[in-house]
Amino acid sequence: MALCNREGGAVRKEYDMILVTGGAGFIGSNFILDWIGLKGEAVLNLDALTYAGNLANLASLEIDPRHVFIHGDICDSALVTSLLAEYKPRAIVHFAAESHVDRSILGPAEFLRTNVQGTFSLLEAVRSYYGKLQGAEKDVFRFLHVSTDEVYGSLGPVDAPFTEGTPYAPNSPYSASKAASDHFVRAYHYTYGLPAITTNCSNNYGPFQFPEKLIPLMILNALEGKPLPVYGDGQNVRDWLYVSDHCSGIRAALEQGHPGETYAIGGLNEKTNIEIVHAICALLDELRPSHDGPYARLISYVTDRPGHDRRYAINPTKIMKELEWEPKETFETGIRKTVQWYLDNSAWSQSVVSGEYRKWIANNYSGRNGDEQ
């Protein structure tokens, strides 16, 4: 029987399938594309299509019977319960989340709803579903929760990178909401026996990233000759992880990880924000020179965001040793691929830079403008 959008009435029965929440977002869509391309296994994709969810990310799967898209909210318990009963996924990979720190500062309520209430609702539905499984179906079932290194707080300049044992110390409404969801996932494993695995990743970048995040924002602003707004002194440090490397780490954790365990996935690429911006400018100077001069002329330092964590870094030794995973991309190779992708996919970028997005950018950066440097 063919797979199709649920509205078409077809139900997939004879092949294994996984459920991915938030599969139209940046990381989720990359994961689905890689999963189907590499594994060939069917995916049930549940996404609410909020501002950052974009089915255009998955256009190459539009007629692929292995991709079933459901427009819905993880907070809708009845919908999730019905989907689990109908499609019987062998695993769940939970990406669905509000993920932008600035948005969480301006409006934290939505982060509480999606990241905490949504994860709780999903866990409740999955707990009921898992309790009815028997034999081999129960033995192989996994729930993988995708989280962030931001739950660990901020590191000093010489502090050792985060590990799975680092105490939680979230500093933004976003990271607090993700920390709460992590704790719920852990509790459902230890209290109810749900075979849950959590991954905490460092900053992702790559194709299909919504242009409110640092790297796509800088690429697209530069191409339009707009200021490149850098918070504070630009010395905030992040560990950068190319999205396909993150996806391979999730696959490793899902296929080989042990229930109840957490795996930190990092790119081993610590860079300051200003280093990132200069690297993007240099690549654009090479690949798409501007008649007005070097793109670095557009760099503008703006007032820092409240509670801006100074440094994140991940030590991925556990996943590298136990699951034999390692990142394939250096920052230099990954950022070149990323810049080239945005140059080659201007139509995608224009389609997502909507009036709503422009309004949000204007709101977030208003009053922060500083002298160009």
What pLDDT is recorded for position 308?
Answer: 82
Between the alpha carbon of residue 51 and those of residues 18, 228, 357, the distances in Å are 24, 22, 8
For the chain, the domains span 6-207+241-268+308-329
The candidate with the shortest Cα–Cα distance to 201, out of 56, 46, 30, is 30
- 98, 166 Cβ separation under 8 angstroms: no
Q: Which of 47, 98, 102, 149 is catalytic?
A: 149
Q: Which residue has the tokens 């229930």?
A: 259
The length of the chain is: 373
Both tokens of 245, joined, read 């490397």
Query: How confident is the prediction along the chain (373 residues), in pLDDT tens digits per residue?
Result: 234 444 433 444 445 899 999 999 999 999 999 999 999 999 999 999 887 788 999 999 999 999 999 999 999 999 999 999 999 999 999 999 887 677 878 888 988 999 999 999 999 999 999 999 999 999 999 999 999 999 999 999 999 999 999 999 999 999 999 999 999 999 999 999 999 999 999 999 999 998 888 999 999 999 999 999 999 999 999 999 999 999 999 999 999 999 999 999 999 999 999 999 999 999 999 999 999 999 999 999 998 878 788 999 999 999 999 999 999 999 999 999 999 999 999 989 888 876 555 564 566 556 555 443 3
Of residues 130, 174, 188, 231, which has the active-site annotation?
174
139 is catalytic: no
Closest by Cα among 246, 215, 172 to 341: 215
The single residue of 47, 73, 102, 150 carrying the catalytic annotation is 150
Scan for tokens 């028997």, then name that residue: 134
- Which residue, 26, 50, 53, 103, is CA-closest to 360? 103
- Could you give phi then psi for residue 18, rounded to 5 degrees? -115, 155
Active site residue 174: yes
Three-class SS of 355-372: HHHHHHHHHHHCCCCCCE
Superfamily designation of domain 6-207+241-268+308-329? NAD(P)-binding Rossmann-like Domain (3.40.50.720)
pTM to 2 decimal places: 0.90
Quick one: which of 110, 120, 43 has its CA closest to 76? 120
- How far apart CA 25 and CA 28 sit, in angstroms, is 5
**Catalytic residue flag (residue 371):** no
For residue 333, list its beta bridge partners. Answer: none
**Sheet with 237-242, side-by-side order of all strands:** 203-205, 237-242, 270-272
Q: What is the DSSP letter of 115?
A: I
pLDDT at 373: 34
